[in-house]
Structure 1
Amino acid sequence: MKIKLILACLFGTLVSMQAQTSVKTPLLENPGSITGKVVDKNSNETLPYVNVIVKEGDKFVTGGITSEKGIFYIKNLDLKNYTVEIQFMGYKTISTAVTLSTDKKNADLGTFALKEDAIELKGVDVVSEKSTIEQKIDRKIINVGKDLISAGATASEIMNNIPSVSVDPQTNAISLRGNSNVRVLIDGKPSNIDASQLLQQIPSSSIKQIELITNPSAKYNPEGMSGIINIVLNKNSKIGLNGSINNGVTFGKTPKINSAFDLNYRNGKFNFYGNYGLKHGKNNNYGFIKSEQENKQNTQLFQFNNLTTSHLAKVGVDYYINDNNTVSFYTNQSFFNGKGYGSTDVDYVNTASTDLLQLFTSDSKNHSQTYNFDYKIKFKKEGHSLELEANYNENDDPENASYTNLNRDNKSLINSFTNDVATLGKNTIINLDYVNPLTETTKLELGLEAREESTANNLFRDNAYSSDFTYDRTIYSAYATLGKQWKKWSFQAGARLEQYNVEALFKQASSADGQFKDDILSIYPSTFLNYNPSENNSFNLSFSRRVDRPSIGQVNPIREWSTATIDSEGNPNLIPQFTNSFELNYTRKTKIGSITSGIFYRRIEDEITRVIFTNPENPNKQVLSFANFENNNAYGLELSSNLDFKKWWSANISVDAYQKKVKGTVETAPSTYEFIEVNATTFNARINNTFKATKDLGFQLFGMYQGRDQSLQFDRATMWKMDIGSSYNILKGSGTISARFSDIFNSMNFAFAGDRPYKSNGQFNWESQSVYLGFNYKFGSGKNKAIQRKERDKNETQSGGGLL
């Protein structure tokens, strides 16, 4: 009630301010007044906080809002002719003429029954039992249900359940269609946080949708060879106060908690929303690598324990100035704190070599903050709009690590050192998007964007300056697309022009400075052709040109992590890779659901790939880094379906196969480099079954298989697992208890083997086998209908394409 009173007072103040700018405030009150009542036409329930606007012709005079009982009373009116408008989001506006005179100074308009606007109303924003897959013209949308929420505590853990998506369990690197050059967005916006870390911080219960945009149009930023993965967080604008609470515990070797809280308050011209997610727990990882390097054969045993706590919050407000003008603001705040403990045990076969035991500890923190402002104007013509958006992101990421090297046999100290790394990234994007439906069948879209990014990274070793690295880039772009429909055909063509500038400076103690500059003007065309012979059949052919510019992690020469035998660092000499992507999709709707099949072909220039080579400064260690390889080709076939076999049984099924020719120069033996070609084929399959036992009780059965994958230096072994889950609705459907047993057979692990630059094999394990218990509770005083916050909220990336 206090919140409602505060909002009512705030709104009243704003209306009063507007009224003061429209008419002069009289010294004496005018004698006229208007009163009435507003109810819902279907339920006959009174509607509080409905906007009541009084106009004289087209001129705004004054206004007010209805009370808790749906009653409004507007006084201090001149005795004139007025038009009274009753406006409420989600309902059709009602207008009526009123005449105030000396004979009728007080007008009682009686009861207004507002009818819901079918265009603006959506279904209740609640979590469905099962996830659904929706195929759009340019994207695949996965609506996250309870089956995926219970699949894991974080976004990273549920991504392996998504068609065409894979997450490397060792590095948490995400890939789409077998390629890791993918752009990850949150609510359609980029972040300076590395995707592998970002996915670990987002609670699965905070995710509403996951969008896979495999061949984006020219209106989207062209970065990401595989396309875009957009994660849409929960939000709604149901009338009144609404929200949900999610709590879960995952039991592996140690328990881990994850909680999320969503809240929304919508009334009158304002919509306030926010969500908060917490993840806390200890993760245990272990593995081994056997190396057959000549005279240095060894077995390395790894043990890692990481205690992490992350907080993710989003708070925002929309202000509907009128039907045609909307102002929005939100902020994302992310806090991460991690403490790591680990050991690397190196046992050399050659007794002349000293066996090593490296112990390390790390303390890492991260604070990422995003601020977004948006102003949208809708013109009189349907679909005609202009939108200005500004987005600022800052990411502060310090890490303090200490390493102690011991003689493995007698535990005597060999050496020890500390590494303190600080990273500060800033990202500013300003874009302007214009949409104009020239005719009923023709639409023009134009956009401008300015983007500035800067990253500063420095390393102190043993509390003394070692090196620092700055990386600044600016991108200015403009795009235009033109779409046309005729009968069963539709066509869209466009192009994006981008000016890309980058400057990097690497400084290291006792070494000359290293500089890198690049200045590239590029054009990125795209075309889409759609044919719908019937309501149940749809064909889509598309082409786009993409670019993968080296990320800060790929070019940063400062150590990312280190073990007794391997250092991970970037390559500042990387150049962008370009991709020409072709795609053909066919969607068939049947009585039991929809089936989508597709094929794609990519031509990749100067492909960026992981490499490992002998450290030139220490032959006993290796460097894991990145390099540009030769031009490559990739092909793929995908099939996905969302089927309801019975009233009690439905399933999401997907299979895909990728073939790629990888070629490049790699180290085939210590200090020996050769040109190598590899033809690699990978097959993946997933099935997620949902069984409805009763109205309130459901079960899930999930299985996945990832086939063998090949690269120039390593082959990854097959991976598979099976999960079972269950959910039960309580409290008249407002509450849900979920349970899930993941990796029933404890079969999921990451195993590899290679022979370049020498023979080696290894395996890494994590807490894949686990039990999840969760509870979700929904509450709300609002009406059982949801209102669109904004048109772009239906698809964050779709209508805000100029800013990606």
Structure 2
Amino acid sequence: MKLKSILICLIGTLFSMQAQTSVKPTLLNNFGSISGKITDKNTNEPLPYVNVVVKENSKVITGGITSEKGTFQIKNLALKDYIVEIQFMGYKTISKSAKLTVDNSINFNTITLEEDAIQLEGVEIVKEKSTIEQKIDRKIINVGKDLISAGATAGEIMNNIPSVSVDPQTNAISLRGNSNVRILIDGKPTNMDAAQVLQQIPSASIKQIELITNPSAKYNPEGMSGIINIVLNKNSRLGFNGSINNGVTFGITPKVNSSFDVNYRTGKFNFYGNYGFNHGKYSNNGFINSKELNNDNTQIFDMNSKNTSHLAKLGFDFNINDKNTFSFYTNQNISQGKDFGNTKVDYVSSAINDRFQLFDNKSKNHSETYNFDYKLDFKKEGHNLELEVNHNKNNSPENALYTNINGTTNSFTNDVKTLGKNTIVNLDYVNPLSETTKLELGLESRNENTDNNLFLNNAYNSDFTYERTLYSVYATLGKQWKKWNFQAGARLEQYNVEALFRKVSEVDSKFEDDILSIYPSAFITYNPSDNNSFSLNYSRRVDRPSISQVNPIREWSTPTIDSEGNPFLVPQFTNSFELNYTRKTKIGSITSGIFYRRIQDEITRVIFTNPNDSNKQIISYDNFDNNNAYGIEVSGNLDFKKWWSANISFDAYNKKTQGTIEDTPGNYEFVEVDVTTFNARINNTFKATKDLRFQLFGMYRGRDLSLQLDRSPMWKMDIGASYNVLKGSGTISARFSDIFKTMRFAFDGERPYKTNGEFNWESRTVYLGFNYRFGSGKNKAAARKQRDKNETQGGGGLL
């Protein structure tokens, strides 16, 4: 290694000497440069991304920013007299004179900046209003107090996010009208079900939500609709600082939502932690009318739940030196829940006995994630190598007691044990080949396995093991040319899966699959001016069946319906195209876009008659034929007046779905449907005074149609207010959700039976919250290092 380093240094020196001798001395003497290093006066730490402005006679000539090491160098300056200003938020601005003469390049060496106490008082960790940023391949929602007060959990605030919808009954999330979306926490996958994740993360623990609708080849290609990345709070402010959030939501019963964030940064270390707590009781009810063959009935559901969850994040960064950084963090999620209620089946025919079932379901969950990261920075700015190891383990036991009362009382138990593990190793390399060209390479190894066991009445009934392994390599090349930016890449993946289902008195069922696929991507952006930006992109995506979609062990049950997976699902592939235009105006920015998706072997929910019991139905999954979907989106982050701003979005999607389903009991036919769905949202913020804000939120979700169900539209309106106290360190928030109590999940169906139904929940609620920020730390301005950008903006191979 030493010999190799010596050879590289020797060759580099020879080239450098040759380059220097080849330049005419007269050219070198025509220009000078100004350089130096900026540090904090108290800690002596280098300050990155500090503004350095060069002026001549009060006129700005040029400038630059400091590197991550706090250094700067401004070249090609004419030999004149200048004033150099050092500007950084939270610090006092200083000025220095610089007189450049022949053979004179000025080095200020180390310049120390002093805190500006007046400026620091206005620095906040949580913004008043959520903001939306449009990047080349994603939309970033910076979560403000208006969204935090919108609900107690991540699932409740997701419905306020453009392009996102959450099923209020199941917490199933969809992006651009499709539920095949990948959910990440801090840029990393989890074995937890997406619905469970959304229910357990407190809204106050969320820093950002990223919508990556068309990821590049550097990302894992899973998720037809793209990726939703939930970024938990952490910061890199100097010194000791943090925040406390407490909130109570009043529905039928109160629900508590609290979080605590703390950060301490000094010297080479940065320590951070976050803890969130959720506790509450929830009530749901609904009905389904079924026109079954000689078996018409009405099912009435009354469901209640009690959930408690703890979410903690602890981590540190250690800057070994200017070239080496080591980081570690862990996410710990512990929850327990109890679902209880009853289901009543009222048959029209007096010849059939009505059914009444009580259920009492207890569940626990412990999900733990451990992340190790090492980054090596080379001499050239932006040239680095990064190794990351991420391990996730999820243990979810569930115990359910069902009691059937039908003349006689009959009870049975379902005990399910689920253990999942997920290990990912990434090696990523970034090399800026020039100022306008960047090469990115990466390797990834991923292993996921899940063991499920079902015990019926305390006796072994069945088990399901599922393991999949992925090996991938990617490469992307980006090039900037005048007002154009190009990026192209490809990801090659080897995918292997093995599954085994065993059940008492049945032959073992095995499933194996082995697929080698390539996933290309391409991005083009054109910026004709500072106020206009166009982008066109393409990517190939895949939706591999999730554990819940392939697990044949019964997920839940009622007297007439069982929910279970299909182990014979195959992956669906999607070719996705997207065109966006962003226009900056005097009142804000507006982004509009269109997209088209060609879907192969689409995975969709199906309902069919239980082959072992004609009086029951099964809800499962199946692969349908090739389908098309396209749509349009418009969103804006606008300031109409100094006192009135709004986030506005609307979208319309058209999808054509076709496949073979059960038309009538035992009979199957090919069916095709074509539907256009419209959604709209507006979140207004009104500034009454410096400290008092009001919010008015409205949303509409249009009708949706699948091969078997027609979902009715729904809408709601919320009002809220926030008031700053304690000299701006505290904020009191209040919100009244679903004022007119219009939110409900209603549907109609024709196949395999004529059905209609409706479900209701505690949609009308009142939220009261208090947020307090403490500490005297200063904002570091930039992320701790590039790895933080990976979590908030995505990084090569990390997903």
TM-score (norm 1): 0.85
Partner SS for 2:727: helix
Query: Does the 8 A contact of 1:433 with 1:446 survive in 2?
Result: yes
Q: 2:616 aligns with which of 617, 621, 639?
A: 621
1:518 and 2:513 matched: yes
1:717 and 2:712 matched: yes
Deviations 1:343-378 (A, max 9, x none): 001100000000010000011000000000000111
1:483 and 2:483 matched: no
What is residue 314 of structure 1 aligned with on the other side? 313
What is residue 102 of structure 2 aligned with on the other side? none
Alignment of 1:110-189 (within 5 A): 114-115=112-113, 124=123, 126-189=125-188
What is residue 270 of structure 2 aligned with on the other side? 271
Partner SS for 1:794: helix
What is residue 429 of structure 1 aligned with on the other side? 424
The 2-side partners of 1:166 and 1:176 are apart by 7
Report the Cα offset of residue 636 of structure 1: 0.6
1:468 and 2:463 matched: yes
Query: Does the 8 A contact of 2:715 with 2:743 survive in 1?
Result: yes
The one-letter amino acid paired with 2:265 is R
Query: Does the 8 A contact of 1:445 with 1:481 survive in 2?
Result: yes
What is residue 652 of structure 1 aligned with on the other side? 647
What is residue 191 of structure 1 aligned with on the other side? 190
Deviations 1:754-804 (A, max 9, x none): 110010000000000000000000000323555522223235154523021
What is residue 355 of structure 1 aligned with on the other side? 354
1:708 and 2:703 matched: yes
Query: Does the 8 A contact of 2:490 with 2:518 survive in 1?
Result: yes
The 2-side partners of 1:41 and 1:777 are apart by 32
The 2-side partners of 1:258 and 1:170 are apart by 20
Query: When the two structures are aligned, how many residues end up with a matched partner?
Result: 704
Alignment RMSD, CA only? Answer: 2.2
The 1-side partners of 2:518 and 2:759 are apart by 43
Deviations 1:96-155 (A, max 9, x none): xxxxxxxxxxxxxxx9751389xxx99945111111111011100001111100000000
Alignment of 1:446-465 (within 5 A): 446-465=441-460
The 2-side partners of 1:605 and 1:446 are apart by 29
Report the Cα offset of residue 401 of structure 1: 0.1
Distance change (3 Å), C-alpha of 1:378 and 1:41:
closer
1:540 and 2:509 matched: no
What is residue 729 of structure 1 aligned with on the other side? 724
Query: Does the 8 A contact of 1:239 with 1:787 survive in 2?
Result: no
Query: Does the 8 A contact of 1:236 with 1:787 survive in 2?
Result: no
What is residue 78 of structure 2 aligned with on the other side? none
What is residue 803 of structure 1 aligned with on the other side? 798
Report the Cα offset of residue 317 of structure 1: 0.5
The 1-side partners of 2:789 and 2:648 are apart by 25
Alignment of 1:41-440 (within 5 A): 47-48=42-43, 114-115=112-113, 124=123, 126-407=125-406, 412-440=407-435
Deviations 1:586-628 (A, max 9, x none): 0000000000000000000000000000000111110000000
What is residue 572 of structure 1 aligned with on the other side? 567
The 1-side partners of 2:259 and 2:734 are apart by 17
Partner SS for 2:791: coil
Distance change (3 Å), C-alpha of 1:797 and 1:648:
closer
Query: Does the 8 A contact of 2:41 with 2:114 survive in 1?
Result: no
Q: 1:592 aligns with which of 581, 587, 594?
A: 587
The 1-side partners of 2:409 and 2:38 are apart by 81
* Gap regions ≥5 residues in structure 1: 1-39, 53-87, 93-110
Report the Cα offset of residue 51 of structure 1: 9.1
Query: Does the 8 A contact of 1:124 with 1:785 survive in 2?
Result: no
The one-letter amino acid paired with 1:144 is V
The 2-side partners of 1:584 and 1:784 are apart by 36
Report the Cα offset of residue 405 of structure 1: 0.6
Query: Does the 8 A contact of 1:125 with 1:236 survive in 2?
Result: no
Deviations 1:549-607 (A, max 9, x none): 00000000000000111000000000000000000000000000000000000000000
Partner SS for 2:320: strand
Report the Cα offset of residue 294 of structure 1: 1.7
The 2-side partners of 1:607 and 1:541 are apart by 25
Partner SS for 1:803: coil
Query: Does the 8 A contact of 1:238 with 1:787 survive in 2?
Result: no
1:688 and 2:650 matched: no
Query: Does the 8 A contact of 1:236 with 1:786 survive in 2?
Result: no
The 2-side partners of 1:175 and 1:799 are apart by 20
Partner SS for 1:802: coil
Q: 1:557 aligns with which of 552, 564, 570?
A: 552
The one-letter amino acid paired with 1:270 is F
Partner SS for 1:553: helix
The one-letter amino acid paired with 2:497 is V
Q: 2:773 aligns with which of 766, 770, 778?
A: 778
The one-letter amino acid paired with 1:114 is T
Partner SS for 2:197: helix
Distance change (3 Å), C-alpha of 1:718 and 1:237:
same
Distance change (3 Å), C-alpha of 1:510 and 1:89:
farther
What is residue 752 of structure 1 aligned with on the other side? 747
The 2-side partners of 1:89 and 1:781 are apart by 14
Query: Does the 8 A contact of 2:231 with 2:792 survive in 1?
Result: no
Report the Cα offset of residue 699 of structure 1: 0.3
Distance change (3 Å), C-alpha of 1:112 and 1:664:
closer
The 1-side partners of 2:380 and 2:233 are apart by 31
The 2-side partners of 1:658 and 1:579 are apart by 16
1:789 and 2:784 matched: yes
* Gap regions ≥5 residues in structure 2: 1-36, 48-87, 93-108
The 1-side partners of 2:701 and 2:264 are apart by 44
The one-letter amino acid paired with 1:234 is N
Deviates more, 1:789-798 or 1:417-426: 789-798
Partner SS for 1:157: helix
TM-score (norm 2): 0.86
